[in-house]
Chains A and B, each alone.
Chain A
């Protein structure tokens, strides 16, 4: 796995000329319009964007979308396999509304292995907007309504199975999304601020500040990422409260992230400093602050957005890996990495492969960010070819 984020200049693929219905339309279009047209050509980027919006919506309203309380456990149903929502009973009769069978535990008389089978004598109707475990949306608004649930919250409904404590994997997955998806954003935001500040200064003023900043960046980039991350996260004290650990890990992740951002910004500043329009603004008597904010930043903002998008997956993978190794986030915090930690050995995975489902979520998220970033990168410079 390469954790180093892809450089922005990596693949300026040509998607073709901007779509033109008429030549004039292109000439009068604004820069953002040109970008939008170009972005639309990237089908995969669009798909990635839509999927990400869905994921983030799930994460934001996770209390509502999760069928159960993620901490609620059922000691009689540990490592229970995924259940199916059915429309047709085993006898072959159709049934509306959709329903779910109960779960029965069987213990093999020889090996004492626990297996679960559907208990066809018990039928639970599945409802939308069902009343279930009470929760507080964002810790504020109390409610009991969940998107999906069994009537009267009576039956088990473990759509992707349960974990070693009999907790619902799906609910944990949705709650985990909140942590795993936000850590990338927060981390990127932190590295963006530091990166723009330092990159901007060293690109605009150059000189001794530039030399020192470049040395530090070079050094940070050269140390192998994963061992450095491991070392730093191992330094996060285990007795810290969860929220503090979360920010600690985010800081660790952005410690390397900002260097890439600073490089991009610096390069852009250096190239733009010599541009005619900057000179023109200077001659017109604009203040330095105005030149930077009005003329320079807008012209590479799109570039920054693209490179930010491409560096998020690295952070998400970083969190997942660190938590998986046990040096990142720790239970009771729920993140995809923490969840994957349960499936750490072959024995568990072989018996309950659904423990790896959070891994699929990680892959989907990273893929979507990569597609989206690729599309944004191509759209970022609408004047190229």
Chain B
């Protein structure tokens, strides 16, 4: 186990290095840089066309140096805990992401828990009662859930809430409550908005989970060891929960680590449609305006979290399943 652990940790180092290089390449891909956009805007507004001003601006932001030097500077500063400044917001990247991370985290975590709480029992039910009416209903719902783009779901929900209850559920607070100090009224207002993204994200996330759980369990249900357990006289509920369900959970455990980056980015599209104060909209904006430190930090954080998440998954899997640990 210890050897396995050490090997996995060592493997993470080159992967992370690769991640940082790829991230840097990706954010450098668009033609031009933030300065060219910025300069274009300056020219429009103030009529500044002086090349010297532009050059000094580029120098100030280190955009005149060769790419590999920019990369090394970027990585060194990252390692020192300096994530750079956002060009567009003119604020430290850390502060920008940090200010939104609480809501992002809360919403993602809540939906994930709700999703699992629904998906596991439903998936198990669907598999045990295969081809029953309930199975067909859940299968139908989950197929539609998987086929619907979540931004569409968000729009339809906004529309439905507006028609049925007569208020705009976008954002997390109604206008006027955003800056207000916490009070009972503000809390109620939050609840009035919060259930919409939770439901939408819950639906789209749950659908896939139900299908996977059902398929995994169906694979296991007809194996001889289940018959053996039954033959020994175990109660049916115990037979199912103790053996096949445990095995069917393996594929989940191996991807549970990917939930980690999901906690930061999970609400991307829905967040944009619903105008949530989460990280998703910030990332989109940063990508569009080539705000390279902000976008870069984002992608880097996400990728790093994935690498760490995969690592945690593998550890969990090894702990759960002796076949992997001992192999």
Contact = CB atoms under 8 A, between A and B. Distances in A.
Interface in A334-377: 340, 343-344, 346, 349-350, 353, 356, 359, 362-363, 366-367, 370-371
A13 to B, nearest CB: 6
Interface residues of B, number: 58
B273 A223 contact: no
A232 B159 CA distance: 31
Nearest to B130: A13
A13 B214 CA distance: 10
B265 A359 contact: no
Given A235-B26, A326-B288, A367-B143, A227 B149 contact: no
A344 B152 CA distance: 9
A325 B149 contact: no
A285 B300 CA distance: 52
B302 interface: yes
A148 interface: no
Nearest to B207: A2
A296 to B, nearest CB: 25
A344 B283 contact: no
Nearest to B266: A224
A11 B211 contact: yes
A356 B156 contact: yes
Contact of A227 (B162, B211, B212, B265): B265
B159 A340 contact: no
Contact of A222 (B163, B212, B214, B310): B310
Given A223-B303, A317-B149, A363-B144, A230 B262 contact: no
A70 interface: no
Interface string B143-154: 110111111100
Contacts of A11: 211, 214-215, 218
Interface string B210-231: 0110110011000000000000
Interface stretch (B27-35, B95-103, B175-183, B186-194): B27-35
A342 B307 CA distance: 37
- Which of B261, B269, B298 counts the most chain A CB atoms within 10 A? B269
Contacts, number: 141
A10 B15 CA distance: 28
A219 interface: yes
B151 A219 contact: no
Interface residues of A, number: 45
Contacts of B278: none
A324 B288 CA distance: 14
A1 B29 contact: no
A118 interface: no
B208 A2 contact: yes
A123 interface: no
A350 B162 contact: yes
Contact of A321 (B19, B146, B147, B151): B151
B262 A224 contact: yes
B48 interface: no
Interface string B264-286: 01001100110000000001100
A226 B269 contact: yes
Contact of A350 (B29, B30, B163, B269): B163
A91 to B, nearest CB: 33
B15 A370 contact: no
A6 interface: yes
A50 interface: no
A227 B302 contact: yes
Instruction: Tell which of A12, A219, A222 has the most Cβ of chain B within 10 Å.
Output: A222
B168 interface: yes
Interface string B1-45: 000000000000001001100100011011100000000000000
B79 to A, nearest CB: 21
B144 A367 contact: yes
B152 A222 contact: no
B204 A232 contact: no
* Residue with the greatest number of chain A CB neighbours at <10 A, chosen from B151, B204, B306: B151
A132 interface: no
B124 interface: no
Q: Could you say which of A1, A223, A237, A346 has the most chain B C-beta atoms within 10 Å of its C-beta?
A: A1
Nearest to A215: B15
Contacts of A362: 147-149, 152
Contact of B303 (A222, A356, A363, A371): A222
B214 A237 contact: no
B170 interface: yes
Interface in A304-332: 313, 317, 320-321, 324-327
Contacts of B152: 340, 356, 359, 362-363
A133 to B, nearest CB: 30
A327 to B, nearest CB: 7
A26 interface: no
Contact of B149 (A13, A230, A359): A359
Given A218-B310, A235-B30, A356-B155, 20 more contacts: A1-B269, A11-B211, A12-B219, A219-B22, A222-B258, A222-B307, A223-B302, A224-B258, A227-B265, A227-B283, A231-B27, A231-B299, A237-B31, A325-B284, A327-B287, A343-B155, A346-B170, A349-B159, A350-B159, A356-B156
Interface of A: 1-2, 6, 10-13, 215, 218-219, 222-224, 226-228, 230-232, 234-235, 237, 313, 317, 320-321, 324-327, 340, 343-344, 346, 349-350, 353, 356, 359, 362-363, 366-367, 370-371
26 contacts: A2-B146, A10-B211, A10-B215, A11-B215, A12-B215, A12-B219, A215-B15, A222-B306, A222-B307, A222-B310, A223-B303, A234-B287, A234-B288, A320-B149, A324-B269, A325-B284, A340-B152, A343-B155, A346-B170, A350-B159, A362-B147, A363-B144, A363-B147, A363-B148, A363-B152, A367-B147
Closest 7 CB pairs of A and B: A11-B215, A235-B29, A366-B147, A234-B287, A359-B152, A1-B150, A2-B208
